[in-house]
Structure 1
Amino acid sequence: MSVAPPPAGGFDLEVETLVIGAGACGLVAALSAQEAGQEVLVLERDPVPRGSTALSAGLIPAAGTAQQRAAGIDDAPEVFAADIQKKAANEADPALVASLIENAPEAIGWLTDGLGLPLTLVHDFDYPGHSRRRMHGLPDRSGAALVDALRSAAEARDVPVICERVAHTLCAEDGEPVGVIARRPDGADEAIGCRRLILACNGYGGNKARVAAHMPAIADALYFGHDGNRGEALDWAEGLGLRTSHLGAYQGHGNVAHPHGILITWATITEGGVQVNAEGRRFWDESQGYSEAARAVLAQPGGWAATVFDERIAKIAAQFEDFRNAEAQGAVKRADTVAELARALGLPEEALSETIGGLAQLREDGSDPLGRRFTGPPLQPPYCAVKVTGALFHTQGGIAVTPEARALRVDGTPCTRLCAAGGAAVGVSGSGDSGYLSGNGLLSAVVLGRIAGRQSAG
């Protein structure tokens, strides 16, 4: 990917606002730009818009929404901001955090009332790091359903989304984008000019060289993100002299069914489940979060672990389509006794029995040497378990932006014609993996995408 002057013969076509990427971020940005009265065009490299959104649970956190009020949940943006900064060790840009959380309730309301998406609140379990229940998603808790719904909304509103167009060159004058060169399926190029460019092309998790350079601890992990996330935004940022931030930040996940490659909801842990290694022993404080779980699990013998829970928890997890798929593929093992479960997983029976049997005492006296505080009902038969491994989901570093989603140059001045959002922009997770608060990815994608779309063209 490169930066070059505009073509000498001019552009083949020109639009007011051009969006690169048709995941949740790009579609939200395009819909918002059209609502603001702009002529908009979306370019997507895949045959069908999917992106990283389709690989997620499709949950968007927001504080102070109608859904929360209906559920009797008292929440506020300042509470959400404190949760973000606590998880990120105060490394997240306060102005960006404020912009996201203050605009999140409006974005949720727009999705539900404006676009007709039936978003509901996840009300039956807590996500690590969130002091309130504030996750909003479609009824099947599927990111694929979310991006499909946004695509349908774009089609209904005649927002043009052109698929199988790979934008490989950004055309610029005086440090500002004026268009792109995109390759068609037949190999021919077309030059598309624009007054404003929105980069919604996600991060660089699919670029092994960049991952190894910026986040070596996760470089050898399973990559569970979209293969098209190769870091085009960073290539163009370097060519334009833009500022980047927190390139070592990422969202990992230590609960991916192995070898099935299916995401297992972290509700299996937050509701009282535990992770054990090949020796049948717990090895870390699972309440820290699923992002840092990736490194913890990968550090175990063989790079895998088993997540152990029970039928009560399985019923809660079953609201997620991914979990139901894991059950259908036989990834979820069930047993009436711990000994049977150990045999099904190939774990030492005595060690697993000691581990599970000791959980009641840990609940009673809070004496867990690993530091976890157990609450809620103890595990009861029938027991359930899934063999899991750690994975890289998506990067959280990227182009530094203003609270209005405008890209920042190295000297700190904002671009007038270039916005970045979602995975193309820096997130609010700090500098590593432990700062990722559940939902940070779609919070940035949807809310910053909406903000970017409503900015006027330069």
Structure 2
Amino acid sequence: MNARVLHEQPPHLDVETEVLVIGGGACGLVAALRAAASGAEVIVVERDASPAGSTSMSSGFVPAPATRYQRAVGVDDDTPERFEADLNAKSKGLCDARLARLAAANIGPALEWLGEKHRVEWLVLDDFLYPGHTRFRMHTVPEKTGTALLARLLAAVEAADIPVVSEARAETLYAADDNRITAVEIVRPDGAREIIGAGAVILACNGFGGNRELVRKHIPDVADGLYYGHEGNEGDAIFWGEALGCELRHLSGYQGHGSLAHPHGILISWALMMEGGFQVNTEGKRFSNENGGYSEQAVNVLAQPGGTAWNVYDDRLHLFAQGFPDYMDAVSVGAIREAETIADLAKATGLPADALAKTFEEVESIRRGETTDPFGRSFEGKPALVGPFYAVKVTGALFHTQGGLMIDDQARVMGSDGKALPNLLAGGGAACGVSGPDVSGYLSGNGLLTAIAFGYLAGETAAEIARG
């Protein structure tokens, strides 16, 4: 790992800017837009040839309360306080309460600002509730993909004339004795180096999911699982933070997902489970409460024989899922199995026919209220599953880490002494998130929540510091 801090003056400066943003994902681009709107000169450095990162691999869904986009679909009783309560409930009170309050209060204004100032078009998904959310508050761009969200943010950055320097990996932070960051050295693919002087620096370089050593150290329960995130998330912010004596928290927290098509590596929407589908292992048996949450379901799936499971559902849900581009990708590559009867579905999947049929009977009995689910799930209000039936083989995966640098209410990085560093800020996966220390604390959308809310805050604060 080459991420390092040097407490010395840089030998020279090739370029100077008021605000330097490290990372070109949703967090970095929102931070850059906000800093520029506050009057600062901004440069974004991105290690890849084209910004992509975890944002482009996500579904692109962002939870936010009390927005005009919610009101447009009839949701007029959501509040930051209600959202904060949902965040705390999902994490069983273990997430940082201040950060939960900070994220819940700022994400709505951030999305509305992006819509009004930069014409990012938002719509609210109001046909199903994601696990843990008590209101329809999941916002998305019309294409319903993370790739499209990132493309819209990049277009806004280009329109604002903010330079994005690609193929530029930030490696060395130069710091004064008081930990004020004076410059950042970037490295090009050919080994060429440049030093950029900065008035303020924003860390938007995500977490450490791509660093197997750190994953094994901090979240060993998923160390041998599939990593479905950007390989460039190697923990640079963690290493810089440690060198600067910063406070790190909840490094054991992460977002998992129990529904990644295997071996195709395509995300299958958890809406299938929330709307009446279920999962079985290779023995044709259910093994958990699928409504608990897709993050913790990663661990449940990986614990099954072969570390895989099957999502089972019917034609109603198959048609519903076709509204998600990822699902259509899975259809196009042949990941989805179809059969007219349960017996035929068993043949198509290789699952034991008798066991699968019994599981269908058990689910229907639970749905009718005749028996109680031993895993605690309710199928109340969901239609019975009727043929034709569908199934897709899935595995559990690590998507991104949720622990990181502690920040204050202005997104300034905190030292272990409880004081904010002079001009270093963080957001998204580089900062401590709002999921707490456990995989089960992840509330749907928490990754983009802190990417955009904390990036929004960081950009404004960085501009104030740099121009102050």
- What TM-score comes out, normalization by structure 2 length? 0.96
The answer as to whether partners of 2:9 and 2:175 remain within 8 angstroms in 1 is: no
The answer as to whether partners of 2:170 and 2:187 remain within 8 angstroms in 1 is: yes
Q: 2:230 aligns with which of 222, 226, 239?
A: 226
Offset at residue 122 of structure 1 (A): 0.5
Indicate whether 1:342 and 2:357 are aligned: no
Indicate whether 1:257 and 2:266 are aligned: no
What is aligned with 1:424? Answer: 430
Q: Describe how 1:199-214 pairs up with structure 2 within 5 A.
A: 199-214=203-218
CA deviations over 1:29-87 (Å, ceiling 9, x no partner): 00110000000000000000001000000011001111111211121111111100000
Taking the aligned partners of 1:40 and 1:457, their CA distance within structure 2 comes to 13
The answer as to whether partners of 2:269 and 2:321 remain within 8 angstroms in 1 is: yes
- Greater shift in the superposed pair: 170-179 or 199-208: 170-179
Taking the aligned partners of 1:277 and 1:96, their CA distance within structure 2 comes to 37
What is aligned with 1:78? Answer: 81
Indicate whether 1:457 and 2:462 are aligned: no
What is aligned with 1:403? Answer: 409
The one-letter amino acid paired with 1:51 is: G
Taking the aligned partners of 2:408 and 2:319, their CA distance within structure 1 comes to 42
- Greater shift in the superposed pair: 200-209 or 368-377: 368-377
What is aligned with 2:372? Answer: 367
What is aligned with 1:433? Answer: 439
Taking the aligned partners of 1:30 and 1:308, their CA distance within structure 2 comes to 43
Q: 1:109 aligns with which of 75, 88, 112?
A: 112
The one-letter amino acid paired with 1:108 is: L
The alignment partner of 2:439 has SS state of coil
Q: Describe how 1:245-394 pairs up with structure 2 within 5 A.
A: 245-365=249-369, 367-375=372-380, 376-394=382-400
Indicate whether 1:162 and 2:161 are aligned: no
The answer as to whether partners of 1:172 and 1:179 remain within 8 angstroms in 2 is: yes
Taking the aligned partners of 1:7 and 1:339, their CA distance within structure 2 comes to 72
The alignment partner of 1:194 has SS state of strand
The one-letter amino acid paired with 1:373 is: S
Structure 2 runs not aligned, ≥5 long:
none
The answer as to whether partners of 2:10 and 2:174 remain within 8 angstroms in 1 is: no
Number of equivalent positions: 458
Offset at residue 319 of structure 1 (A): 1.6
Taking the aligned partners of 1:30 and 1:108, their CA distance within structure 2 comes to 15
What is aligned with 2:420? Answer: 414
- Greater shift in the superposed pair: 365-374 or 321-330: 365-374
What is aligned with 2:190? Answer: 186
Indicate whether 1:147 and 2:147 are aligned: no
The alignment partner of 1:358 has SS state of helix
The alignment partner of 1:381 has SS state of coil
Taking the aligned partners of 1:8 and 1:39, their CA distance within structure 2 comes to 21
The answer as to whether partners of 1:406 and 1:418 remain within 8 angstroms in 2 is: yes
Indicate whether 1:121 and 2:124 are aligned: yes
The answer as to whether partners of 1:7 and 1:191 remain within 8 angstroms in 2 is: no
Offset at residue 179 of structure 1 (A): 1.3
The answer as to whether partners of 1:124 and 1:316 remain within 8 angstroms in 2 is: no
Offset at residue 316 of structure 1 (A): 2.0
Taking the aligned partners of 2:274 and 2:410, their CA distance within structure 1 comes to 35
Offset at residue 314 of structure 1 (A): 1.8
The answer as to whether partners of 1:248 and 1:397 remain within 8 angstroms in 2 is: yes
The one-letter amino acid paired with 1:263 is: L
The alignment partner of 2:440 has SS state of coil
Indicate whether 1:29 and 2:31 are aligned: yes
The alignment partner of 1:347 has SS state of coil
Structure 1 runs not aligned, ≥5 long:
none
Offset at residue 185 of structure 1 (A): 2.8
Q: 2:70 aligns with which of 68, 78, 82?
A: 68
Name the % identity.
50
Taking the aligned partners of 1:167 and 1:399, their CA distance within structure 2 comes to 17
Q: 2:50 aligns with which of 48, 51, 55?
A: 48
Offset at residue 416 of structure 1 (A): 2.1
Taking the aligned partners of 1:332 and 1:120, their CA distance within structure 2 comes to 28
Q: Describe how 1:87-102 pairs up with structure 2 within 5 A.
A: 87-102=90-105
Indicate whether 1:173 and 2:176 are aligned: yes
The one-letter amino acid paired with 1:447 is: A
Offset at residue 273 of structure 1 (A): 0.5
Taking the aligned partners of 1:185 and 1:142, their CA distance within structure 2 comes to 29
Taking the aligned partners of 1:313 and 1:8, their CA distance within structure 2 comes to 59
- Greater shift in the superposed pair: 438-447 or 107-116: 107-116
